[in-house]
Structure 1
Amino acid sequence: MLNKAAKPLVKLVDRYLPDPYIFVLLLTLLVFVAAMMVEQQSPLQLVTYWGQGFWALLSFSMQMLLVLVAGYMLASSPPIKRLLDSIAALAKSAPQAIILVTLVSLLASWINWGFGLVVGALFAKALARQVKVDYRLLVASAYSGFVVWHGGLAGSIPLTIATKGHFAEDKIGIIATDNTIFAGFNLALVAVLFVLIPLVNRFMLPSDDESIYVDRDKLAEPEVETEAITRPADYLENSRLLAWAVGGAGLVYLGQYFFAAGGKLNLNIVNYLFLFLAIILHQTPRSLLTSLNEAIKGGAGIVIQFPFYAGIMALMVQSGLAQSISSGFVAIASADSLPFWSFISAGIVNIFVPSGGGQWAVQAPIMLPAAEALGADVARVAMAVAWGDAWTNLIQPFWALPVLAIAGLKARDIMGFCLMQLIITGIVISIGLTWF
């Protein structure tokens, strides 16, 4: 039944969803028009907001590019390729491959969202080298696990409100993660999704006649060519000692960061870990650079599109459009229904402001006073915003770009399957936030 229901969605997306670059251009124009009509802002003022915010995500753009590059280099190292292939060998059929990649992605994303994006995509490629399976659904399954990230250990909203000195502390105080990430309703919701999402993906599996398979030769990683060592520089490029010395120093820092300083996983640390493990596991600088040359080819979308999303975020926030969307839903809410409407409004805002921390800065000044006035559970409302932010990532190309670059697919190849997951998980999350 799910396979039949997914077919028209897959065909619809394949026919009408443009390249993510075209999508972000259309989204920019849509926000311009909406801000002029709803907020009565002048075109010149909106252009000013847009231009001033255009470069606000430069640091984050570099982080995302490194997620792609460092993750690819790590996975293409001989030991990691062998490990991924060994785990992938556990899957003996297409249904098993779909379920396995979804579970791995869910677990990795619950630990850390950057980790989940890279691990899921790389494991999908390893599975495709082992099992004959529809490659579009396999990669979509790897991406679908991303939906749980904001309810996991690296959720930016629950971690923000649990940190002393956060911007809303004067209104809600410090809310411990016992009331958010590790609250009963959130753990129950995560547990249900860990069962539901793999099953939905498995039952969307097309028949053999309708499946699209990938040429396994195209998934092979480039081999490092052995060149004669004729110059002193050649010795350095092939020096294991040089790679081990620098890579070892990086791992020493990580040991100090985690065990001595009590540091936690964040995007910078994930990238740092991937990079220095790749340096060591490739064994020589030449091997690492060969992998880098392949990895960087997939980063074009990140480089060109993220500045446009920064401009859209500035338009949404500075014009007041994001606040108006949130306020509209709050106006029809009650104490019991506020988490549901917070979730829906966050899902809509996330299409235009695809940043958990940025979205909380926009919605918190609206949702928190509403929760206080209605007598709603503040922790649950905060998690509703978090889940809404994660939910519509299923159809937001912004976050899919690293996965698509690693897998070698286009957004339209996977978004039809993700749209089905959006519908089903949206129903389940809504029930969970309201009734669990």
Structure 2
Amino acid sequence: MGKSLKQDSVDAWDAYLSTLERNGLADPHWEVESEVQEKLIDYFKAKIDAGVSDGLTSLPERLPSYVHRFPEEMLRAIKSHAENVLAADPNNGAAAKFLAIEAFHKVNTRISSEKYPLLEKTMVLAPNDIEICFFAYAACTRLGDQMQEEALVALERMLERLRGGNHKVSYLWTMRLYTTEVDATPVQNYLRINKRHPVVNRWEAVLNAILVVFENELLQTPDSGVFNIIAHIHEAMGDIEAAQAVFQKIQPYYEERLKQNPNDRTALSSLANIHGKLGNSDLAREYRVKTDPTLAWEGQVLPEFSPVVDLDGKPVWLADYRGKLVLLDFWATWCGPCIAELPNIKEVYEEYHNRGFEVIGISLDSDETALRKFIKENQLPWRQVFDEKGWENPLVKKYGVRGIPAQFLIDREGRVISVKARGKRLADLIEAEIGDNTD
């Protein structure tokens, strides 16, 4: 049965977890006093020595979330012990599990692929361990298409181990397949497969098993997120009628939320999506506009600016730009996504400026000195509207801007082409509008 655990070792592990969680798991490593480190090493050695009992290891839950935050010296000591134990006893599932988790937290794909047999071995040696199956699936999704077969096997094993057990446990584990812990959901993996591939029936069986779990959950606790997942699965499997039936069931839930709060953006965006799926395009657009009022301007002539000035104190009027293609860029130096988009805007500006493309920046900054410094350092050549008012800028209110970056692309007649002119879409829209016209 292995060594008995000392209470102070358990306390050391609990204290270590508390330290990590208090700090938000932000840093990869935390300093641990040598005395505490020794207790933690003893704790894990005993857990590994204990092996598997009743199909489970006694390693702590959610170990994959913590192992890469261990101090290097401590990790090396535990890993070395696990390797020695596994060499002496190839059937020790606890040693295999620790080594598999440690290996798959490395960033080198080749090494991780070579280490996959450890995950396979653990799933066999610990036949009731759900966590290792989930971890194997998550690890395989990080490695992409090359491990898709292994991802399917891990998922099949996980669902098999959940079958017939506590419903709430099944639901919680299945829901984790739709979190940031995995790089590809089961539906995403299914959609990647050629429908003539021999494993397609197995993926469909997996999706049907997931449907059963989520449908059972809805019988107990109606949840909009679960409804959406169910509808998405039906859509992916080509059962549009079933997907629409799910959307119709969830529609009253969001409508009731809107009665309680007419500005509930989650309800508005969900209803826009639902009506889009049900073919109600006018209603879908109505809800999208309520979610993001700027969408109402698409296809419309944008009204003239309220009186505003640029950084040089000169008035800026849209009328002065008639005959040109114009991008209105609502942004700020404190906005990460805005800054990330600037290189793209600069590249497009350099490509198309001589062909009639202009940019007007509308800064929501409040510090003029910092703004000027940023513009100079990043060599932004276009005019900047600035009034120190931030979100109280009159153009923000006039055009219904609720979030930045917001980028309005306006044609030569002043009509809004798009209010989502970002990334590659910006260049595509400009090229379609300007074409070979050099006038």
TM-score for both structures, normalised by structure 1 = 0.19
Give the number of the structure whose residues are more often helix, by fraction. Answer: 1
Larger-Rg structure: 2
RCO higher in structure (CA 8 A, sep ≥6): 1
Give the number of the structure whose residues are more often strand, by fraction. Answer: 2
TM-score for both structures, normalised by structure 2 = 0.19
